[in-house]
Each structure stands twice: as C-alpha cells, then as structure tokens.
Chains A and B, each alone.
Chain A
Amino acid sequence: MHIRNFSIIAHIDHGKSTLADRLLHATRAVTQREHRDQILDSMDLERERGITIKASAVTVQHEYKGETYQLNFIDTPGHVDFTYEVSRALTACDGAVMVVDSTQGVEAQTLANAYLAIENEVELIPVVNKIDLPAADPDTVAMEIEAILGLPAEDCIYCSAKTGEGIGPLLDTICEQLPAPRQAVIPETRALIFDSHYDEYRGVIVYVRVFDGELKVGDRIRMMGTGTTWTITELGRNTPQPEKVDRIGTAEVGWIVAAIKTLADVRVGDTITHDKHPAAEPLPGYEEPKQMVFCDFYPATADVDSGKRTDFESLREAVEKLQLNDASFTFEVQHSEALGFGFRCGFLGLLHMEIVQERLEREGGVEIVQTAPTVTYKVNTTQNGTMEIHNPMDLPDPSQVQAIREPIVKVEIICPDEMIGDLMSLCDGRRGIFKTQQFVSTGRQMLTYELPLAEIIFDFYDKLKSITRGYGTMDYELVEYRVDRLAKVDILVNGDPVEALSLICHRDNAEVRSRNILKALRKQIDRHQFEIALQAAIGGKIIARESIKAVRKNVTAKCYGGDITRKRKLLEKQKAGKQRMKSIGSVNIPQSAFLAILDQGDG
C-alpha cells in the first residue's frame, strides 16, 4: 500500500482547518452527521481563537488510479511560538500543502511556515483557497507565491474548502506529487515523537511517525532522549475516530498509550526505540523546548494579607494541572514583596503566554495578575562564566557583569505599501536594524528587520496592527543573542532599592523608561508625612528622579459626640489600608503601584 505523510500549513484564518475537514469528507472518513466544524481542533480555546494549538494526526484511505493510498494527515500548530513543534511535525511528513487565502495573499506566517517546510526538505503543494468568495483574486495570489517562494504560479491548485471545488484534484496531487516515505535505513526501530496529548483516563497519548522498524502492543520501549522506558498498552490511529491497531509499521503514523502519567515524561522530537534492541543513534533534531518569554502570575487577591495562602494554592493546582497538558511552559515559585507568592513562568512566545494565562483562568478557575513579560538575557560575568537570567532581580552586581546579551529576532512584516514608512519608524524606534524591503505584489511589500525580542513583547504587535489598520501581519524567529548596551535600572524609594521594580533596558532608553516609571509610581504612592524621593539608578548613578511632597496636614477638625463612630471607622479603614501596603524602609507602597509599573511597557 502507498503511504503519503503530509501536513497543511497556513496563516491564521486562511482556511487550514476547513480544508482539512473537506479532505476528510472527500475521502468519506467523516459522515455528515459527525461533522463538526473543524474536527481536528480539539480544544474549545482553539476553536474560539481559530487557531490550532496542538497537532493531531488523522489517517484516511484514498483511491487514486485504482490503487489505495493511506494518507496520514499531520496537523501542525500554525503559530511561530510553536516553531519547534511545527518543525517536528514537518519532519514526520514527506510533504506539505501550503494554503493561501485568495482574498488575502501571502502573509507573514505563510512564509515562516513555508521556510520551515523547505528547511525540513518537505515538498510543498501550493493551494489557493477560498476561490468562491467574490473578492478572490487567485491569479494575483499565485503570482505572489511565485514571487516570494519561487513556486511556479501554474503549479498552484485553486480550491474552495467551503464548496469542495478543487478538492479532488488536490487529493490526486497529494498522491501523485508528494514523495513516498523513505524506507527503513536500520533494522532497529526508531519512531519520532511529533506530538503528545494528555488524557485524563489513559495518561499521555504519544503521536509518532515510525521511520525504521515497527511498534507493537506489548513492546517495551525506550525514549532515547530522556532514557525512560515504558510498555505499550495500546496503539491506534484516528480515522478520525480513534481506532486501535496491533502495530504501526515503517513510514506509518499513529498513537501510543503506555501508562505515561505526565507530559513532562514525553518530549516532542524525542526518538522511541525498543528497550531490548535499541537503535544506536536517535533520529536527528531533538531539542529541549526553549522558553523565550517570562512573566509572573500571582493570584489576583485584592487583600494580600487574608486569603493569600489559599488563592496561591488554587493557582498552584491550576498551574500543575495545566502542565500535564502543556509541558512547554515552565514555572517556579516566586515571591514578590508586593504581590505575595506566585509563579515565574516561561513560555515559547507571546501567544503561548496568552494561551496559558487564558487556560489557567478558564480551566483552573483562578483569577490571575500577570506581570509584564521579560525575555531571557545571557550574562557574561567577569568570572568568565555565562548565566541565563529571566528576571532583572537575578542580575549580578554590575562590577561582575562583563556583557549582557539579549535575544534578537528576525521579524518579517507584510503590509500595504502606504504604511511602510510608519512601520519603518516603528521598527527604528525599537532599536530595529533594517534588513530588506521586498516586493510581494502590487500594493504589498515585505519588510525584514532585526529587532530585540524585548522591544516587541510589550505592544509591538498592537502598534503594527493599528498602523496598518489590521492589514499588516508579522512573524519572527530567533536569530541570536547579541551584546548591547543593556543595563539594570534600579528603582529606589527614599534610597532603598525596590527589587520588584528593577528592570533591564537599553542604556539609550533608560532615562525615558525610568522617568515614565517614576511618574507612574508617584501617582500610586500616597503622600507620607515626609518627602519621598523616587529615583532610578544604573549602578549607583541616578538617571531620573521624582519626589512626593510630604503631607503637612492630616487631621479631622471636628470630633464631637455624633462624629465618634464614623470617625473611628474612617481611621480604621486608613489603618487597614496602611497594613495592606508593602513597606520599603518607612514608605508604604500599595500593590497597585507595582502593577502600574509593570504595565508600563515602554510608555
């Protein structure tokens, strides 16, 4: 039997999931009754956001020229945050269908994913979708695909996933043009893990593509990266309904259940082999998930004193539960002077961070206070060591810091011509280095910039969207860690540094950033009976200052018989307010001040 392993790559909303559904229909894998919109997206959140977060695989049969083809359709997460997962899913494929919306054209994510496919030596079939729409301009879009990706315009398949037009030819092209999977190269078994899900009843479900040998129920298997061993209790594939099988042979795709309790035991990209007859070398390309963006989650309790413990516990429960489902975010307990106990969490990217927060709140039922995201810095110390820090608090004393390196990303932006100027100013203002400006089609261009990741994690995307009135799209990938004139800015309240407020920023922006922070702080801290000096300093040198005037008068003029109870209650409220605040030296700082600062971005 012929096997074709492929995936669909697309920009958000270009119709990937609808096309996948249509393909399943066309192969009669799904009856009308079972049809739910976008079958492959299994989480509510995915369906709501119109994006696919976790990959799955579906196996269907298709007749082509009188022969039966087993089509293994591997879904990929579309977003750049999950680049590594996408690349593993693509590695499991031999080809990919690249979908472009005929009313929108090539977008930044289309490119990012296409590049990934090309890097992974995956054959691409370009598809121009949504040709049923009145605004469709498939020829122009096909030309865009040729201009940018060098795929001949005449090779593009025009289709409408909605009406079914062009679906038959697409299936035929998949069978005809995509390469057959490679044959086994070694006798021992090697299977690539390209995804995993957590199931409450069966534990972890591991999705694999077998490259060499085979897997059978009852096999004792070993994960070559983590070294753990398990016994296979179930094998199966989705057709799309789960269907148990006895074996998964070379070049086939399916899932494994092996009483694995947590996702942390399974690493996407790892190689499974037999415990008794292991392969000598794993399949190439395994990497640990890399967290790029960090922020703190605290329970959103107004009253820091009471209830802190229980709210923290429910947050911990939610975080731990979520990690069973998503091993790519990390967490460790964090204690903030102002916000109490919480977690410092690491994410693959910004979208990943948002998704985790939403899932914690939705699935875990906890309300969360999220601090401003920061990136990971690599610090060269005078002891010739290198340390990674993702919290300004952890930066060593300036005297021990030789250099601070920050992550630089290559950003690709596709947008209408007339907004290019404004976008370039935006990038220049964020320490961007212009790389290229490229024609996409009449009226649209692609800008490439190198930007520090730290400069885009606050509000860059929002700004981009507002400059381009929603038409601009962007994608980014990590280029390298680069040394720059970065410095830790300490915020001092009456001379005492407040660690939770310190930040790392570029020396040239430090004054402006600091001043914004001090101004925000000034609004949040109540006046005291003495003047409060607010200062920002780099290595002891003051770079900005503000002050909060002393209260000279805080006295109620009248207190007679009828005023006593009310007055006492008023003062008790004042007292309770004071106790809720964090004392820095003799200055009381409310929790809101810490959050206002963290919300600052680059002001």
Chain B
Amino acid sequence: MRHDRPSGSTAAEVLARVQSTDADGTTASACVDALYVHVPFCMHRCHYCDFFTLAGKDDARSAYVDALLAEASATIKAMHFAASPTVFIGGGTPTYLEPADLDRLLGGLAEALPVAPGEWTVEANPETVTAQVAAVLAGHPVSRVSLGMQSAQPHLLKALERQHDPAAVPRAVDHIRSAGIDDVSLDLIFGIPGQQVPDVHADLAAALAMDPVHLSVYGLIYEPGTPLRRRRDRGKVTPVDEDAEVDMFTSVQQLLAGAGFEHYEISNWAKPGHRCRHNEIYWTNGNWWPLGPSAAGHVSGTRWRTIPRLKAWMDQRTDGLPPVVDLESLDADAVMGEVLMLGLRRLGGVPNDTIAAACSTPKRGKHRATAISTHTAAGLLHDVDGHLALTRSGLLLADHVISDLL
C-alpha cells in the first residue's frame, strides 16, 4: 500500500482531533507516551526494505533536519507528554546524517521536549558509526543504539544488499561503548535466501560475542512492492524452505534462552531490564507522535501517517505541520481488535480483563470469544499469570490466530 494521495488532512487537524477543551476553556490533549522521528536517508536502498527511504538525496539532509526541527517545535508545544516518554529515531539510516546535522537534530529535539525522555534510541547502520558519530550520540540523552547487523556472513549480507562487512559491527559497538552508551541492540535476519540453520547459529554466536543487551531477530519478509518480492515472484530468488525457517526460529529461541535473554515479543529478546520501552508502547497500543515524512502516529484510536513525499512534507505546512494521509479513527470494536493484534505479539500476552472487554464488544465480541476457545483448545493460546498469550507453537502461527480475533 502506498500513500501518495494526500487526504487533504493536516497534522494540525489531527492535533485538533486528539485535543479536548476543558470547561474552563483550556485545551487538553491526550497524553503522548512517545515520539518517533523518521530519517529517511540511506547510502543504498536495500532490496528487501519497504520503508520510506531515500538514497542519492544526500544534499537534502541538512535542510531536512531544519524542517524536522521546525515540525518538532510546532508539534511538541501543543502536546501533553507522559512522564519519561521515549524517543526513537529510526529510518532510513539516522546515522547517515552528517555529524553536524545529527548533532543539531539531537540537540534541537532535546531542547524542544518539555520533559526528560526515559529512553532514547537511535537506529544505526554499522558502517556509519564512526568514533565521531558515537561521540555525537553520547553528547545528547541517547540511551540506546540499535545496530543493523543482519548477519555476520559476507554472502548473506550480499544477498540482502547490505553495504557493510562483518567486522564493521564489532567496530561500531566498540565506538558506541567507548563513547559511553551501554545499551546496544543488534538486528539480525534469518531465512535469507541461501541461509542454512548452522548459518543462523554462527550469526547468533557472532552477535552474542559482542555482548548486546537486546536482540531483534526477524524472519525475512518479502514485502509487497519491494524488488526482493518481485525477484521471488519471478523465480529469481528462492526463499528458504518453510521447515528450515521453523528450525531457524526454534534455534534462535533456544540459543538466546540459554544466553540469558528473555523472549518478550515474537522477534525480540532482551536481557532482564533491557526491553525496548518504545516498542512496547506500540504493542500495548500506547500514544505516540510522529515527526518526518511517512511517519505513522497514533493517539487514542486515531491513526495517521505524514505524507510520504519529501518535498510535500517540507513545503506544504499548515501552522508548521505537514499534510497527513491514511487518517482514520477506529471504533471501539476495531480498537479492541488492534489491542489483541498487538498485545498477543508480546509473550506476556494480554491481561484477562482486557480479553473480557474484547469479547464483549457489540459487533465482534462473540466471534472473538469463540475463536479464543477454539485456539486455546488447539494449543495455540494459553493463560500465563492472568494473561492470554500465544503458546510456543502459537507464536509460529500468530497471524492465523490473530486474524480470527480482529
């Protein structure tokens, strides 16, 4: 799905929609738990990536930071933040900004925020993290760096069109740690064409050798609209056999459990106390505000996305805010569907009282209750400490289960 047609709405309208006016005439907006900042620039657009990214637009980077900061100041002052909100700068490749621009961005955001963030993550590609960049990050309240490692083997990195060589990862980790940021998360991908189960073991061993506190390990997705998907559909790329993929996932679970990691979401593992709070806000249906083009936001059942075109996002501002697309406000039934869809991704599951509420909505409640008992009987759902959660086998069939609960 591409969102090139503006809906005619602006972020200013969204802001109005999520605000309410008190009896005394003061405006109160819903409480925002997090801020997502999108930096779309990349050195190269990898063929599996379906994010809004821009390669070959390096000239725009500096002006982009200006526009981001303008958007931030227009937005943030109109919002009410929760205590210790999270900030996540994702991409694209945020660390592909010139160090000076990156510095400006981080400083500007920190200044605009009325409260101190409780967690601040920046995504980075290993080849972009120099000592200088690490120092810039550490010079601001950045508490976490998430590194796109993907694999430790050159042929698999090549299969993904990643630009770094495996040695770049430990180098980047060293720079980050030396600069004073301890929380390093590594992203890995399994199910890469040509990959075998022992390759996954080797990748994990290489990752664990760097002593990360957090790991995101994804099964490769052939996203619609990506070159990789087209290559698969034309038979130019052969996906990994499903049985092997299951074995890979199971190996990851076992190895990481053995290494003291807690499996807390389908694709995420953390050392105790090191979960990504920002992502947990997504999975618990929290409220967050987006900055940058093609960035999604959610406040109290209203979802939207800023326009996914750089020029329109920069130029077509209303009260300093960009146009938005895909604006929708969900009804109570659909909201509960999303709560389950997101919540069941967490291994801790969804609290029983939330489940009870989801099963008593007017339209889909009954259907959900039936589906829950069917899937529980089939061993795909179970009760964990007063929560409904996917079982080990349920995790592998999450979409099958969740589609029945929407």
Contacts and interface: CB of A to CB of B under 8 A. Distances in A.
B267 A554 contact: no
A585 to B, nearest CB: 13
Contacts of B298: 561, 564
A529 B326 CA distance: 33
Interface in B360-406: 378, 380, 395-400, 402-404, 406
Contacts of B396: 552-555
A566 B378 CA distance: 28
A564 B296 contact: yes
Contacts of A31: none
Contacts of A435: none
Interface size of B as a range: 35 or more
B258 to A, nearest CB: 22
Contacts of A557: 218-221, 266-267
A554 B398 contact: yes
A565 B282 CA distance: 12
B162 interface: no
A568 interface: yes
B120 interface: no
A273 to B, nearest CB: 66
A568 B338 contact: yes
A572 B298 CA distance: 19
Interface string B324-342: 0010100000100110011
Nearest to A558: B218
A564 B398 contact: no
A567 B334 CA distance: 13
A574 B305 contact: no
Interface string A522-558: 0000000100000000000000000000011111111
A560 B218 CA distance: 12
A553 B305 CA distance: 30
B279 A575 contact: no
A575 B294 contact: no
B385 to A, nearest CB: 23
A180 interface: no
Interface in B214-240: 218-221
A43 interface: no
Contact of A555 (B288, B295, B303, B399): B399
B246 interface: yes
A552 B380 CA distance: 12
Given A564-B282, A564-B342, A555 B266 contact: yes
Contacts of A580: none
B406 A554 contact: no
A91 to B, nearest CB: 65
A531 to B, nearest CB: 13
Nearest to B249: A553
B406 A561 contact: no
Contact of B245 (A553, A558, A561, A568): A553
Given A553-B242, A559-B345, A571 B406 contact: yes
B1 A566 contact: yes
A558 B338 contact: no
A554 B397 contact: yes
A578 interface: yes
B81 interface: no
B243 interface: yes
B242 A552 contact: yes
Contacts of A574: 399, 403
Given A551-B400, A571-B399, A574-B403, A561 B342 contact: no
B295 to A, nearest CB: 7
A578 B242 CA distance: 22
B326 to A, nearest CB: 6
A236 B235 CA distance: 72
A549 to B, nearest CB: 8
Contacts of A567: 341
Interface in B85-112: none
B313 interface: no
Contacts of B267: 557-558
B300 to A, nearest CB: 14
B246 A552 contact: yes
A561 B296 CA distance: 6
Contacts of B290: 561
Contacts of B297: 561
Contacts of A429: none
A572 B342 CA distance: 14
Nearest to B52: A562
Contacts of B283: 559
B36 interface: yes
Contact of A562 (B294, B334, B380, B402): B294
B402 A571 contact: yes
B292 to A, nearest CB: 11
B249 A572 contact: no
B243 A552 contact: yes
B305 A568 contact: no
Contacts of A555: 219, 266, 395-399
A99 B305 CA distance: 76
B296 A562 contact: yes
B51 A553 contact: no
Contacts of A554: 396-400
Contacts of B399: 554-556, 571, 574
Interface in A161-188: none
B381 to A, nearest CB: 13
Nearest to A549: B242
B282 A561 contact: yes
A149 B217 CA distance: 84
Given A553-B242, A558-B221, A560-B282, A568 B406 contact: yes
Contacts of B243: 552
A556 B396 CA distance: 9
Interface string A467-482: 0000000000000000
Interface in A42-56: none
A564 B298 CA distance: 10
B218 A568 contact: no
A568 B337 contact: yes
B403 A559 contact: no
A556 B406 contact: no
A559 B342 contact: yes
A554 B396 CA distance: 6
B303 A553 contact: no
Contact of B303 (A556, A558, A564, A578): A564
A559 B288 CA distance: 15
B328 A575 contact: no
Interface in A348-371: none
Nearest to B404: A575
B218 A561 contact: no
Contacts of B345: 559
Contact of B338 (A551, A552, A553, A564): A564
Contacts of A566: 1
Contacts of B303: 564-565
Contacts of A551: 242, 397, 400
A495 B6 CA distance: 53
Contacts of A529: 378, 380, 397, 400
Nearest to B371: A575
A529 B396 CA distance: 10
Interface string B316-357: 000000000010100000100110011001000000000000
Contacts of A564: 282, 296, 298, 303, 338, 341-342
Contacts of A569: 1
21 contacts: A529-B378, A529-B397, A529-B400, A551-B400, A553-B242, A553-B397, A554-B398, A555-B395, A556-B221, A556-B399, A557-B218, A557-B221, A560-B279, A561-B36, A561-B282, A561-B296, A562-B295, A564-B282, A564-B298, A568-B341, A572-B406
Question: Ordered nearest first, which 7 A-B pairs have the shortest CB separation?
Answer: A557-B218, A562-B296, A555-B398, A574-B403, A571-B403, A557-B219, A575-B403
Given A555-B399, A565-B296, 12 more contacts: A554-B399, A555-B219, A556-B399, A558-B267, A560-B282, A561-B282, A561-B296, A564-B282, A564-B342, A565-B328, A574-B403, A575-B406
